[in-house]
Structure 1
Amino acid sequence: MMALRAGLLGVGMMGRHHARVLRELDGVDLVAIADPGGDPHGVAGDLKVLPDIDALIEAGIDLAVVAVPTRFHEDAALKLAAAGVHTLVEKPIAHSLEAGQRMVDAFASAGLVGAVGHVERFNPALQQLRMRLEAGDIGEVYQIATRRQSNFPARIADVGVAKDLASHDIDLTAWVARSDYSQVFAQTMFKSGREYEDMIAITGRLETGVIVNHIVNWLSPMKERLTVVSGEKGAYVADTSTGDLTFYANGTIPHEWESVSSFRGVSEGDVTRFSFAKREPLRVEHEAFRDAVLGKPTHLVTMQQGQQTLRVVEAALESARNSESIRLV
């Protein structure tokens, strides 16, 4: 079978990684790259850097990856849908819900694969976590809390931390819990002199009743990417920076020290750090995209799912503006 012809729009900080993985992917040939800003990281190799999405489409491609700033997603995606090109756009799906819905509708009408690059779903720690939650290893799930903190990225200029980073946590939380959000409340801060927020704290509930909390900012000198799931039998901690998953079990041995027992609520049990294969999430995501184009079942994030994540993000931002809780169902 002939390899799928792939095109890449955008070879900036994220696009350069897409270029690398596309070149290494079985069954796919990277045949065209476009970026109006040129090739700052020198990833084009022997490919000519095309000026825009129209030139990319003219190269005759079967699938495309869109890794340009969010405000350009809609224009590129709608042109690709009209040209019959299966497309993966980086998260978030679009700059607005209206734009995202137009993208969803265009790919559905054309019968094409339209996907969003919520790459955390392909992190080995979160895949293991989802599998173990589904198996009931922790019993009833009570709370899912995430922390995603780092310093300010100069590359992000068109959205705030909610759409750029919190969208990861919202998507992965709904995915590992297999439940949509029912309610959110959020607070934001603006400390970097831009029009967009650089810190957001979100709390809410899923439709299953699970409490969720997200701490996300660009104002930290340390990098942190943690997901903590607390439940009936203990707590899982997934570190997506390293791909590690650790389980802290509730103890079965009672404390003889009464004040310690009263303070801690549940006793400390065994701590297990799981061992499993750790593949690069971006590579696994691209394999899922390729397989979806070939008609195989995958866990690819559809545009409809990406739109639902954006809906929760927009609700959180509305909550922060109005200082009120927003119901989503």
Structure 2
Amino acid sequence: MKHDVLVVGAGSIGERHTRCFLQTGRAAVAVCEPRADRLAALAAAYPLAATYSCWEQVPFSAGQVVVVATPAPLHEPMATRALAAGCHVLVEKPLTLDVAAAERLQAAAERAPGVSGTAYVYRSLALVAALKARLEAGEIGPVRHVLGVMGQEFPRYRPAYAEVYYRDQATGGGAIQDALTHSVNLVQWCLGLETHVCCQADHLVLPWVTVEDTVALTLRRSGVFLVSLTLNQFQKNNDLQLDFAGERGTLRLDLRTQRLGLNRGEEWEWSDPYPAERDTPFIRQAHHFLDAVEGQRAFACSIAEGVETVRTITAALESWRTGRVVEVRP
């Protein structure tokens, strides 16, 4: 019997969730979207079980899977309503735009009987899972520094970026909340939580918007680790590289080549590729969430972990605005 899945929001990420849950072969997928043209486009492109144009009129049922893929300010009220109805709820990143809303959503998830999670899709990449396993095995000893360098020509991948939520921080836009949040969550998954955040950012290139497109972020846990992440959204090459420097070597994640590198001296030793198309991690994520619903496994990223990433991202924005190092946690 297939799972009853409702995707709320038919923007680019909502469409991807629709397509990828269908690709699992384990879901009958419905979509809720107020824009008639988008709803019609998805209904024409995919074998949908149902369509809804009004969120308030959706007939929830206990045990239903709800994927919240709307702009971030709507995540808390929508997810809370679905959780209260007994649904299993997967919420897109960022979980919310402020810590208080994130904590309220976490409390709602803890009260509810259903499975819940935050859709940080990097955790569903086989490449990232392999990195985490090697770090946990102690292959390079305690990790003391992470250097992340990443960027892409954002308009090539999101041509309508200036017309959607990305154009405004208040709707979850800008490089920090929309893009860098992925790498922050990945590092937190691999290393644990930082205590202090320092951030510089600017709008340097992208036309038609004024939100930041370039970021330099530092995360620190005193005496334990230092993380330096840099990102821009205009460079021509699409790259993400993370170096985890331990006391006995360095592990490098190279997302472009989809390989892991190990360096204990002069030479790099490279793994075989972990091939993944753009939909691959989303299909894996959909499988993982359905597995969690069936009680086969815990979902990769909990709501509580999503809250901690919100805490860090909001601290990064505060640091940028004030020019101060922000203490996030004691």
Give me the TM-score of the superposition, normalised by structure 1: 0.86
* Pair 1:249–1:64, CA change in 2 (3 A): same
Q: Which amino acid aligns with 1:224?
A: D
Partner residue of 1:188 out of 178, 189, 201: 201
- Give the superposed CA RMSD: 2.2
In structure 1, the residue matched to 2:8 is: 9
- Spell out, residue by residue over 1:207-257, the C-alpha distance to the aligned partner (whole angstroms, 9 max, x if none): 67111011122232332222111123332221234432122231xxxxxxx
Does residue 324 (structure 1) correspond to residue 324 (structure 2)? The answer is: yes
Instruction: Measure, in 2, the Cα distance between the counterparts of 1:308 and 1:241.
Output: 28
How far apart in 2 are the matches of 1:241 and 1:17?
A: 21
| Separation in 2, partners of 1:128, 1:165 | 22
Counterpart residue type for residue 86 of structure 2: G
**Partner of residue 261, structure 1:** none
Q: Could you say which residue in structure 2 is the equivalent of 1:253?
A: none
Provide the C-alpha distance between the structure 2 equivalents of 1:288 and 1:66, rounded to a whole number of angstroms.
16
Figure out how many residues of one structure are paired with residues of the other and give that number.
308
Instruction: Find the aligned partners of 2:182 and 2:262 in 1 and give their Cα distance.
Output: 22
- Which of residues 104, 125, 128 in structure 1 aligns to 2:127? 125
Structure-2 residue corresponding to 1:209: 224
C-alpha distance in 2, partners of 1:288/1:208? 35
| Alpha-carbon offset, residue 161 of structure 1 | 1.1
**3-state DSSP class of the match of 1:43?**
helix
Q: Which residue of 1 aligns with 2:72?
A: 70
What CA distance in whole angstroms lies between the structure 1 residues aligned with 2:19 and 2:143? 38
Rounded to whole Å, the distance in 2 between the matches of 1:320 and 1:3 is 47
Matches of residues 36-47 of structure 1 in structure 2 within 5 Å? 36-38=34-36, 40=38, 42-44=41-43, 45-47=46-48
1:294 matched to which residue of 2?
294
In the alignment, the residues of structure 1 paired with residue 188 and residue 222 of structure 2 have an alpha-carbon distance, to the nearest angstrom, of 10
Matched to 1:288, the amino acid is: H
Contact 1:114 1:302 in 2 (8 A): yes
Other-structure match for 1:314: 314
Give the Cα–Cα distance (whole angstroms) in 2 for the partners of residues 168 and 274 of structure 1.
23
Structure-to-structure mapping, 1:1-329, within 5 angstroms: 2-30=1-29, 32-38=30-36, 40=38, 42-44=41-43, 45-47=46-48, 48-58=50-60, 62-152=64-154, 153=158, 154=161, 155=164, 156-157=166-167, 158=171, 159-177=173-191, 179-191=192-204, 192=206, 194=209, 196-206=211-221, 209-250=224-265, 268-269=266-267, 271-275=268-272, 278=275, 280-328=280-328, 329=330
Distance in 1 between residues matched to 2:103 and 2:94, nearest whole Å: 12
Aligned mates of 2:79, 2:36 — CA distance in 1: 20
Displacement, 1:290? 0.9
Q: Distance in 1 between matches of 2:103 and 2:210?
A: 25
The amino acid across from 1:273 in the alignment is W
What SS does structure 2 have at the residue aligned with 1:203? Answer: strand
8 Å contact from structure 2 (residues 144, 246) kept in 1: yes
**Cα distance in 2 between the residues matched to 1:68 and 1:81:** 16
2:97/2:314 contact within 8 Å kept = no
Cα deviation, 1:31-86, whole Å, max 9, x if unaligned, reads: x1111124549333343531132344448861111112212212211221222111
Contact in 2 for aligned 1:292/1:300 (Cα 8 Å): no
Deviations 1:92-118 (A, max 9, x none): 001221221221111211132221110
**Structure number, greater radius of gyration:** 1
What is the rounded CA distance, in whole Å, between the counterparts of 2:288 and 2:323 in structure 1?
A: 40
Q: Cα offset for 1:314?
A: 0.8
Q: Match of 2:138, as an amino acid?
A: G
Gaps of 5+ in 2: none
Does the 8 Å CA contact 2:117/2:299 hold for their aligned counterparts? no
What is the CA deviation profile of residues 137-168 of structure 1, one whole-angstrom value per residue up to 9, with x for unaligned ones? 11232211222312344142322211111111
TM-aligned CA distance change 1:197 to 1:275, over 3 Å: same
TM-score by length of structure 2 reads: 0.86
In 2, the alpha carbon distance for the partners of 1:229 and 1:301 equals 21
1:220 and 1:118, CA in 2 relative to 1: closer, same or farther beyond 3 A? same
Q: 1:185 and 1:308, CA in 2 relative to 1: closer, same or farther beyond 3 A?
A: same
In the aligned structure 1, how far is the partner of 2:61 from the partner of 2:327?
A: 46
